[in-house]
């Protein structure tokens, strides 16, 4: 965990105000419909739509941010601070890892409540599996673009794991690094992560820019460790930012031709739920 001076306002105990979403449920659902129309025209195959919400706060946010960073199932749980800002993440997803001459990414796509029925639904869902495999193929292509990489392989496909009350489907995609690969080349190949953009990536990014009402800020990027011979960056899903006045959070999901707008809105709310609960102390 990375720590420093976490921005507070007013001192004393932590108090979080009501959340204000940057779009309504109806607006979010309408954006899903627009993506489905774009898919129908052949402009894109899948787009990950992300919504933003913020809440004013007073007092010291440090305990709340630490609660969030400690959520169960977080492969990347920690806090990064700077002058007047702090980022807390409880991400389960690997954007990119390099260790012992091997590059790995672990895309996550597909969500259900962490119940026995939810697990069965996720494993049986043709829509979720098709969406997931599409992103795995995109990540295979991203790694193949790296100079000096050996054959790209899928080490694990559609493995169901739990994150804070939700089942998530994860795959492991890797390649051997046969030569020196610079940090810029690596980040250029994998950023932004396919699971938070869509496919084709550039066309999906154009659709995202046209439809999302607020920028993604620190979310959907990378946060982790860079050292000699070792890099491990988590994708900043399940992440919040505090700016000294407000806390900001983002959540979304992948949209395909078969997406149900109301269900997609509910899925985004389910992903945001543990973050909001942790910040409020529940």
93 is catalytic: yes
33 is catalytic: no
Length of the chain: 282
Select which of 27, 33, 93, 212 is catalytic: 93
Tell me how far apart the terminal alpha carbons of the chain are, to the nearest angstrom: 21
Contacts of residue 136, Cβ cutoff 8 Å, sequence gap at least 6: 107, 154, 157, 171, 173
d(CA 241, CA 189): 26
**Residue 214 to residues 75, 178, 191, 220, 275, Cα–Cα distance (Å):** 27, 41, 19, 13, 19
**45 neighbors 230 (Cβ within 8 angstroms):** no
**Residue 131 to residues 46, 136, 140, 237, 255, Cα–Cα distance (Å):** 8, 9, 15, 18, 8
Q: Got the DSSP string for 207-269?
A: HHHHH-SS--TTTTSEEEEEETTEEEEEE--SEEEE-SSEEEEEEEEEE-TT--HHHHHHHHH
What angle (nearest 5°) sits at the alpha carbon of residue 166, between those of residues 237 and 224? 30
Select which of 97, 109, 139, 271 is catalytic: 109
Residues classed as catalytic? 93, 109
């Amino acid at each position: 965990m990375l720590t420093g001076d976490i921005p507070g306002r007013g001192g004393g105990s932590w108090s979080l105000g009501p959340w204000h979403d940057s779009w309504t449920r109806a607006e979010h659902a309408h954006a899903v419909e627009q993506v489905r129309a774009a898919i129908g025209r052949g402009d894109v195959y899948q787009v990950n739509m992300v919504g933003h919400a913020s809440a004013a706060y007073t007092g010291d946010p440090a305990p709340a941010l630490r609660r969030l960073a400690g959520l169960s199932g977080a492969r990347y749980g920690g806090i990064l601070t700077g002058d007047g800002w702090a980022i807390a993440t409880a991400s389960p997803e690997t954007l990119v890892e390099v260790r012992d001459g091997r590059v790995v990414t672990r895309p996550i796509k597909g969500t259900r409540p962490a119940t026995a029925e939810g697990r069965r639904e996720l494993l049986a869902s043709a829509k979720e599996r098709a969406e997931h495999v599409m992103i795995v193929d995109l990540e295979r292509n991203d790694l193949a673009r790296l100079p000096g990489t050996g054959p790209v392989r899928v080490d694990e496909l559609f493995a169901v794991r739990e994150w804070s009350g939700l089942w998530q489907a994860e795959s492991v995609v890797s390649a051997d690094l046969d030569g020196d690969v610079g940090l810029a080349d690596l980040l250029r190949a994998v950023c932004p992560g396919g699971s938070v953009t869509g496919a084709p990536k550039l066309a999906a990014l154009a659709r995202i820019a046209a439809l999302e009402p607020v920028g993604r800020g620190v979310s959907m990027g990378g946060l982790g460790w860079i050292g000699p011979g070792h890099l491990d960056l988590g994708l900043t899903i399940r992440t919040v930012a505090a700016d000294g006045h407000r806390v900001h959070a983002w959540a979304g999901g992948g949209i395909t031709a078969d997406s149900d707008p109301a269900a997609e809105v509910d899925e985004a709310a389910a992903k945001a739920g543990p973050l909001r609960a942790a910040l409020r102390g529940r």
